[in-house]
Amino acid sequence: MRASVFEQREKQVYRKGEKPFEMDCDKDSLAGAVSQRACVFCGSRVVLYPIADALHLVHGPIGCAAYTWDIRGALSSGRSLHRLSFSTDLQERDVIFGGEKKLYQALVELIDRHGPEAAFVYSTCIVGIIGDDLEGVCKRVAAEKGIPVIPVQSEGFKGNKRAGYNAACRAMFRLVGTGDVSDISPLSLNILGDFNLAGEIWVIREYFRKMGLEVVANITGDGRVADIRRAHGAALNVVQCSGSTMDLAKMMKESYGVPFMRVSYFGVEDMAESLYEVARFFAHQDPDITARTSQLVNQELGALYPELERYRRDLAGKKAAIYVGGAFKAFSLVKAFRLLDMDVVLVGSQTGTEEDYRELHEITDDGTIIVDDSNPLELSAFLQEKDVDIFVGGVKERPIAYKLGVGFCDHNHERKECLEGFVGMLNFAKEVHSTVMSPVWRFVPRRHRAKLLTGMEATRNTHKK
């Protein structure tokens, strides 16, 4: 079974308890290994994508725009420009003669047509090679049209997704500091690293509202250009999602002195702790905030626990595997599964850091496999070895699980269920329950591999039970 790991990747796989913790990570993906990772462009695109009143123009051949059209269910409460897919659709002649003229025309055309509050122009692999002066074109159009036109340096090959997060943060940072902040409350914050999948940011905003806090900017779920422009006026940045927006928080701290804290809205423990930490931050200005927060948490938990109990009874002792983009989400998932009395036997991420994996090592049980930048061959071998009941991941992991007859929960772009907040924990339990407890698993071959029954014999045996 272990032969499925490439020799060059052996140090990116760790089994807790076998030897002292040591892991390689943050490496370029191994050629030929079918990494589940994406590229720089992907990192930038997913972070900026939910800014709903901006124009997002992909400068490159059609693929990059086509594959990211409406890619995640990032909801908007108003304009939804982000759900359109714009591309300069570069052709051979543009590659030869340069794409600047086409980019200029495309920007002018689209800005006139849609009247966005700002435009982001994404660079793709090919633009990095042909050397179009993105900055120059953007500057010219910005002057002519009177809106910020911001280049995103997201050439696909210039690193991995994390480099793309950084490019997105640098692009947003050009907006920050350009808006009026005079009427912002001292009890205020920005939400960073939430993308409003299935309306999640609205749940979180409501919690903060109940605590008496003003949310200045959503970064970036249900995001608005004008809000980001005045984000520097907030008293605090709360940052979720390991890599994606941390760089922006750091830049804002350095330039505007806005402090930040890391939070997570997944799972009961992390959700509650995040709210309490925010309350502690503001407690010296607003002593009552702690009481309001406790009340909020208690109210939510009071409603949640009896409901959760029903699912826990069925799920206790089942085995879970986790493979996600950023490791920070994995921490919360490990705890969430623990709350359901389930055992996490595999946890991994595409872009975790050594610090991340060390923390995963701390919070998992002996025997757990921890893996960095994995691939279908490894993941499928791990699922089989650990006889997993549910695999949590994204679209690319789903067929690996299903092909082998393993349950699955989408915790990525395509989820349509709100999984954040206290209500999110309940939805998560429902999701997990709806896959783990399905009767279909009794028909899948892996449940009958010992006897190698045919499908029909398996069905008959099930009937006898």
Partner 1 sequence: MKLNQRQSEPYSASTNACKLCKPLGACLAFRGIEGAIPFLHGSQGCATYMRRYIISHFREPMDIASSSLGEKHAVYGGAPNLKLGLKNVMTKYDARMIGISTTCLTETIGDDVPMIVREFISDLGNGHKDTDIPALITVSTPSYSGTHIEGFHAAVRAVIDRLSTDVDTHEGLNIFPGFVSPADVRYLKEVLDDFHLKGTVLPDISRTLDGEALTQYENVPSGGTPISQIQSMGGSRASLEFSRTLDEQSSPAALLEEKFRVPRHILGMPIGLRESDEFFGILCEASGRELPEEHCLERGRLIDSYVDGHKYVFGKRAIVYGEADLVVGLTAFLAEIGIQPVLCATGSVSGKLEDAIRSVAGELLSELPTIMEGADFFSIEESAAGLMPDLLIGNSKGNHLARKLGVPLVRVGFPIHDRFGGQRLLHVGYRGAQSLFDRVVNTLIASKQDRSSVGYTYM
Q: Which of residues 134-163 bind partner 1 (CB under 8 A)?
A: 156-160
Nearest Cα neighbor of 55 from 25, 79, 91 is 79
Q: Which token pair is 285?
A: 């200005």
Residue among 15, 16, 21, 33 that touches partner 1 (CB under 8 A): 33
Residue among 17, 84, 316, 438 that touches partner 1 (CB under 8 A): 84
Determine contact, residues 134/102, Cβ cutoff 8 Å: no
CB-nearer residue toward partner 1: 9 or 361: 9
Q: How far is CA 161 from the centre of its chain?
A: 11
CB-nearer residue toward partner 1: 220 or 380: 380
Determine contact, residues 364/344, Cβ cutoff 8 Å: yes
Q: Burial of 224 by CB count in 10 Å (0-12 exposed, 13-18 middle, 19+ buried)?
A: buried
Residue 62 near partner 1 by CB under 8 A: yes
CB-nearer residue toward partner 1: 42 or 346: 42
d(CA 166, CA 161): 9
Enumerate residues 421-460 that contact partner 1 by CB under 8 A.
Answer: 443-446, 449
- The region of 26-34, 234-242, 262-270, 273-281 touching partner 1 under the rule CB under 8 A is 26-34
Residue among 13, 48, 52, 110 that touches partner 1 (CB under 8 A): 110
Place of tokens 């623990």: 338
Residue among 63, 136, 186, 259 that touches partner 1 (CB under 8 A): 63
CB-nearer residue toward partner 1: 45 or 229: 45
**In the complex, what is the shortest distance from the CB of residue 196 to partner 1, in angstroms, rounded to a whole number?**
19
Residue 86 near partner 1 by CB under 8 A: yes
Residue among 38, 201, 248, 334 that touches partner 1 (CB under 8 A): 38
Nearest Cα neighbor of 350 from 371, 332, 379, 319 is 371
Residue among 398, 437, 442, 461 that touches partner 1 (CB under 8 A): 398
Residue among 19, 20, 31, 182 that touches partner 1 (CB under 8 A): 31
Residue among 251, 339, 363, 381 that touches partner 1 (CB under 8 A): 381
- The region of 184-192, 244-252, 392-400, 427-435 touching partner 1 under the rule CB under 8 A is 392-400
Residue 384 near partner 1 by CB under 8 A: yes
Nearest Cα neighbor of 262 from 282, 242, 286, 288 is 242
Q: Give the total of residues touching partner 1 (CB under 8 A).
A: 80
Q: Burial of 120 by CB count in 10 Å (0-12 exposed, 13-18 middle, 19+ buried)?
A: buried
Helix (H) or strand (E) holding 45: helix 40-48
Determine contact, residues 418/199, Cβ cutoff 8 Å: yes
Instruction: Put the strands of the sheet holding 260-262 in their side by side order.
Output: 214-220, 188-194, 236-239, 260-262
Terminal Cα-to-Cα distance of the chain (whole angstroms): 32
Residue 69 near partner 1 by CB under 8 A: yes
Residue 395 near partner 1 by CB under 8 A: yes
Residue 399 near partner 1 by CB under 8 A: yes
- The region of 92-100, 221-229, 256-264, 319-327 touching partner 1 under the rule CB under 8 A is 92-100
User: In 212-267, which ranges are continuous DSSP H helix?
Assistant: 225-229, 246-256
Q: Which token pair is 277?
A: 């930490």
Instruction: Put the strands of the sheet holding 369-372 in their side by side order.
Output: 13-15, 369-372, 343-349, 319-324, 390-393, 407-410
Residue among 21, 202, 256, 402 that touches partner 1 (CB under 8 A): 402
CB-nearer residue toward partner 1: 104 or 276: 104
Determine contact, residues 293/356, Cβ cutoff 8 Å: no
Residue among 42, 121, 322, 388 that touches partner 1 (CB under 8 A): 42
CB-nearer residue toward partner 1: 316 or 440: 440
DSSP 312: H
- The region of 140-148, 243-251, 265-273, 399-407 touching partner 1 under the rule CB under 8 A is 399-407
